[in-house]
Chain A
Amino acid sequence: MTEMTGSKAYIKTLEQEGITHIFGITGAALIPICDALLDSKIRYVPGVHEQGSAHMADGYARASGKPGIVQVTSGPGATNIVTGVATAQLDSSPLVAFTGQVPMSMVGTDAFQEVDIIGVTASITKWNHQVRDPARIPWAVKAGLHIANTGRKGAVVIDLPKNITQETAEMDFDVEIDFSGYKPRITPSPSELDWAAKLLAEAEKPVIVAGGGIVSSGAGKELTELAEILMAPTATSLMGKGSIASNHPLSLGLCGMHGREEANYMVPDADVLFVAGSRFSDRTTGSLAGFAPNARVIHMDIDKSEIDKNVDSVTRIWGDAKHSLIGLIDRVKTIKRSQNGDWTKKIQEFKRSYQEPNDNSDITGPAVIRAIRNALPSNAIVTTDVGQHQMLAAIHYDVYEPCTFLTSGGLGTMGWGVPAAIGAKAALPDRKVLSICGDGGFHMTENNLSTAVDDDFPIIVVLLNNRMLGMVAQWQRLFMNGRYAAVQRNYSVDYTELVKDYGAHGVRIESMKQLNTELTRAVGADYTTVIEVPMDPEENVYPMIPPGMGLKDILTED
């Protein structure tokens, strides 16, 4: 037990828990905390808008697997992170937000810059808590980090009234975190594994759909091993991208609304479908009637409430993906699947027939994405924004390692790409980090580039500028007889000039050849670069399943 102020205890607990970066913007309610931070080795990354700071912390968390910390002042500081908190929560990313608050004596009086952030964030957090006793600060900080980063990961908000951070108390830094209502299950029951193994062993046409749970539990290697034992072609959800290397012979790529044809045609043909760490989002399944109608479904998830929520399973595996997969592999490893049985042959045939044309001469979405892949080292991290460019990347960008493709899936938050890339760069400074953006989303948060430059987190942005809110325009072309409403943009802003004022290098390319040259230069450079690529505003992203249709109802280019 040591006596100190709440602020010092807050910083000390963060240090003790291994936190190295705090993203945020200060304010009156945070003055004591920011003062205490001066004496710490924790790096403070000042933002330009709290939403961006929250996305940075989220990107940091997704790239590193460690909790990301955002720290903002009361009132508007706190409400500005709401989008960031919801984005992290929906994609199960361990974000911990610390919000300043007016002193306890003023809470509930509509004091200056008072917002009931606990009430506001109740339905978008895994847990939230207002600290009301300085001596409880070490407990609250530890509890927040623990809850955010265990079980099904998620967002936590801890509210810190100013007087609590100023007052002194006897602090216990060894305080135990024990919630009787929160005991995440890690190991599944052996009988669940036995059942699942039996079904998988009997399967003639097994297919795996891997989701974000595989990425977040670091179980990519185990998943790939299981796929190889079973000779099971493996598709992924958007969040599961990276669970299996895109160039693996069994990889089918993305399935769902913008899934690849090989994935969307093979998933419904399965007789046993193993859904691993995916929550059957409507964007992944299409209409439920067309989703694996003849398959016996095995659903593996760490979150019991996801099992049988949207799709009824024959058997479940409730537990952490990595532990579960190790248990499964143990039970099925003696299976010998022929390398040229009917199913294996069909996999190869399918994969061959849907090889994408490799025409890289014109500036098209797929060609731009392939050029990015070619220019980047295999362990580079790519973040995307939200829209057509995101789906192009999801379909065409090859991922070789988990946690190297980061995207806002569940909430689909435009403006996420750039700040998330900065957070990823802060987490892994030795990696190349590139963000694929559309003009709409880029313009929402491009001001974060000043943090990238001034605080030395060099990133590359490839800006696919179609002068349209492209994804919405695509829906209007396909489903509204081409009537454009609220999607055309005639901004006079010149992005290449704009980003120069932030201190970044800006360049607009006019050909694929020039794009390749600029990408190579940017990857070799240690400063922030924005490459603007002029796109055809009428280009659609295919394949696509119209909303409400089944996986096989695929629209394609021709």
Chain B
Amino acid sequence: MSLSVISFLVENKPGVLFNISNNIRRKNFNIHSITAIAGEGEDTTRITITSRGDPKEIDKLVEQMNKMVDIIIVKRLDPLRTIQRDMALVKLHTADPMAQEEALEIINKYKGLILDIKPDTVIAQITGSVNEVNDFTKEVTHIGIIEAARTGITAIEKGWVTLKEP
């Protein structure tokens, strides 16, 4: 089943994220990724959650959450017009100079950044669609991933459509 992207604009208050995840749990959906940050100098937080499930059922969940007092806006983004990005920080084991060279090549291919380079490790920053980040991870697996951290998806719709002006 495809990933649905749900975007929220919520009051920046304790408990709101708890209420959202509690609701998602109750309907037996699993959160695949979640990103959230409070708007600068604002009382609101923008949250992006992705989950796998029948889009029709996700829409019902969205309607339920729309009722929550502290949620200002919630919407399942239209997959056809949504741009989504994921970012990974990947630490690779590159003690072997050949491995290091190969790692740098692959990082370059994915237009990644090299954030740290030590005699035996490299940290890369890879940004792209979920698939691009997945592909990168696959390609470097044989070199040796020591640790990886991903932000999860954040997303926005094309054109003049915004969360506030649907």
Question: Does A321 interact with chain B (Cβ within 8 Å)?
Answer: no
Question: Does B87 interact with chain A (Cβ within 8 Å)?
Answer: no
Kindly supply a per-residue 1/0 record for chain B positions 22-41, scoring 1 wherever the CB is within 8 Å of any chain A CB and 0 otherwise: 11001000000000000000
Question: Does A36 interact with chain B (Cβ within 8 Å)?
Answer: no
Question: How far, in whole Å, are A182 and B10 apart by their CA atoms in the complex?
Answer: 11
Question: Does A119 interact with chain B (Cβ within 8 Å)?
Answer: yes
Are the C-beta atoms of A147 and B66 separated by less than 8 Å?
Answer: no
Known: A304-B63, A305-B63. A182 touches B69 (CB 8 A): yes
Question: Which residues of the other chain, A, contact B67 by a CB distance below 8 angstroms?
Answer: 126, 152, 303, 305
Question: Does B119 interact with chain A (Cβ within 8 Å)?
Answer: no
Question: How far, in whole Å, are A181 and B9 apart by their CA atoms in the complex?
Answer: 9
Are the C-beta atoms of B66 and A122 separated by less than 8 Å?
Answer: no
Please indicate which of the listed interface residues B10, B64, B69 has the most CB atoms of chain A within 10 Å of its own CB.
B69
Question: Does A118 interact with chain B (Cβ within 8 Å)?
Answer: yes
Kindly supply a per-residue 1/0 record for chain A positions 163-206, scoring 1 wherever the CB is within 8 Å of any chain B CB and 0 otherwise: 00000000000000001111000000000000000000000000
The minimal Cβ–Cβ distance linking A159 to chain B, given in whole angstroms, is 11
Question: Which residues of the other chain, A, contact B138 by a CB distance below 8 angstroms?
Answer: none
Question: How far, in whole Å, are A304 and B67 apart by their CA atoms in the complex?
Answer: 9
Question: Which residues of the other chain, A, contact B69 by a CB distance below 8 angstroms?
Answer: 126-127, 147, 179, 181-182
From residue 120 to 173 of chain A, which have CB atoms closer than 8 A to chain B? 122-123, 126-127, 147, 152
Question: Does A309 interact with chain B (Cβ within 8 Å)?
Answer: yes
Question: Does B145 interact with chain A (Cβ within 8 Å)?
Answer: no
Question: Which residues of the other chain, A, contact B70 by a CB distance below 8 angstroms?
Answer: 127, 179, 181
Question: How far, in whole Å, are A119 and B72 apart by their CA atoms in the complex?
Answer: 21
Question: How far, in whole Å, are A305 and B64 apart by their CA atoms in the complex?
Answer: 6
The minimal Cβ–Cβ distance linking B163 to chain A, given in whole angstroms, is 12
Question: Does B11 interact with chain A (Cβ within 8 Å)?
Answer: yes
Question: How far, in whole Å, are A122 and B22 apart by their CA atoms in the complex?
Answer: 8
Q: Which of B15, B23, B68, B72 contacts A118 (CB 8 A)?
A: B15
Question: How far, in whole Å, are A309 and B57 apart by their CA atoms in the complex?
Answer: 9
Question: Which residues of the other chain, B, contact A119 by a CB distance below 8 angstroms?
Answer: 18
Are the C-beta atoms of A180 and B72 separated by less than 8 Å?
Answer: yes
Question: Does B134 interact with chain A (Cβ within 8 Å)?
Answer: no
Kindly supply a per-residue 1/0 record for chain B positions 1-25, scoring 1 wherever the CB is within 8 Å of any chain A CB and 0 otherwise: 0000000001100010011001100
B43 nearest CB neighbor, chain A only? A180
Please indicate which of the listed interface residues B10, B18, B60, B63 has the most CB atoms of chain A within 10 Å of its own CB.
B63
B10 nearest CB neighbor, chain A only? A181
Question: By the criterion of a CB under 8 Å from any partner CB, how many residues of chain B are at the interface?
Answer: 19
Known: A304-B66, A305-B67. A123 touches B22 (CB 8 A): yes
Question: How far, in whole Å, are A180 and B42 apart by their CA atoms in the complex?
Answer: 13
Question: Which residues of the other chain, A, contact B26 by a CB distance below 8 angstroms?
Answer: 123
Question: Which residues of the other chain, B, contact A126 by a CB distance below 8 angstroms?
Answer: 67, 69
Question: How far, in whole Å, are A224 and B42 apart by their CA atoms in the complex?
Answer: 49
Are the C-beta atoms of A181 and B72 separated by less than 8 Å?
Answer: yes
Question: How far, in whole Å, are A484 and B143 apart by their CA atoms in the complex?
Answer: 67
Question: How far, in whole Å, are A398 and B69 apart by their CA atoms in the complex?
Answer: 38
The minimal Cβ–Cβ distance linking B166 to chain A, given in whole angstroms, is 14
Question: How far, in whole Å, are A118 and B68 apart by their CA atoms in the complex?
Answer: 15
Known: A119-B18, A122-B18. A309 touches B68 (CB 8 A): no
The minimal Cβ–Cβ distance linking A480 to chain B, given in whole angstroms, is 29
The minimal Cβ–Cβ distance linking A299 to chain B, given in whole angstroms, is 13
Question: How far, in whole Å, are A304 and B64 apart by their CA atoms in the complex?
Answer: 9
Question: Which residues of the other chain, B, contact A118 by a CB distance below 8 angstroms?
Answer: 15
Are the C-beta atoms of B60 and A309 separated by less than 8 Å?
Answer: yes
B56 nearest CB neighbor, chain A only? A308
Kindly supply a per-residue 1/0 record for chain A positions 297-308, scoring 1 wherever the CB is within 8 Å of any chain B CB and 0 otherwise: 000000111000
Known: A179-B69, A181-B69, A181-B71. A305 touches B18 (CB 8 A): no
The minimal Cβ–Cβ distance linking A213 to chain B, given in whole angstroms, is 15
B68 nearest CB neighbor, chain A only? A181
Are the C-beta atoms of B60 and A305 separated by less than 8 Å?
Answer: yes
Please indicate which of the listed interface residues B10, B26, B63, B67 has the most CB atoms of chain A within 10 Å of its own CB.
B67
Are the C-beta atoms of A123 and B23 separated by less than 8 Å?
Answer: yes
B23 nearest CB neighbor, chain A only? A123
Question: How far, in whole Å, are A180 and B109 apart by their CA atoms in the complex?
Answer: 46
Question: Does B73 interact with chain A (Cβ within 8 Å)?
Answer: yes
Question: How far, in whole Å, are A126 and B66 apart by their CA atoms in the complex?
Answer: 12
The minimal Cβ–Cβ distance linking A470 to chain B, given in whole angstroms, is 32
Question: How far, in whole Å, are A181 and B8 apart by their CA atoms in the complex?
Answer: 11
Are the C-beta atoms of B11 and A181 separated by less than 8 Å?
Answer: yes
The minimal Cβ–Cβ distance linking A463 to chain B, given in whole angstroms, is 37
Question: How far, in whole Å, are A22 and B67 apart by their CA atoms in the complex?
Answer: 28
From residue 68 to 87 of chain B, which have CB atoms closer than 8 A to chain A? 68-73
The minimal Cβ–Cβ distance linking B152 to chain A, given in whole angstroms, is 23
Kindly supply a per-residue 1/0 record for chain A positions 527-545, scoring 1 wherever the CB is within 8 Å of any chain B CB and 0 otherwise: 0000000000000000000
A118 nearest CB neighbor, chain B only? B15
- A/B interface sample: 13 pairs, CB < 8 A: A119-B18, A122-B15, A122-B19, A122-B22, A147-B69, A180-B11, A180-B72, A181-B11, A181-B68, A181-B73, A305-B63, A305-B67, A309-B63
Q: Spell out B's residues near A (CB within 8 Å).
A: 10-11, 15, 18-19, 22-23, 26, 60, 63-64, 66-73
Q: A118-B15, A127-B68, A181-B72 are in contact. List 8 more A-B contacts (CB 8 A).
A: A119-B18, A122-B19, A122-B22, A126-B69, A127-B70, A179-B70, A180-B11, A181-B68
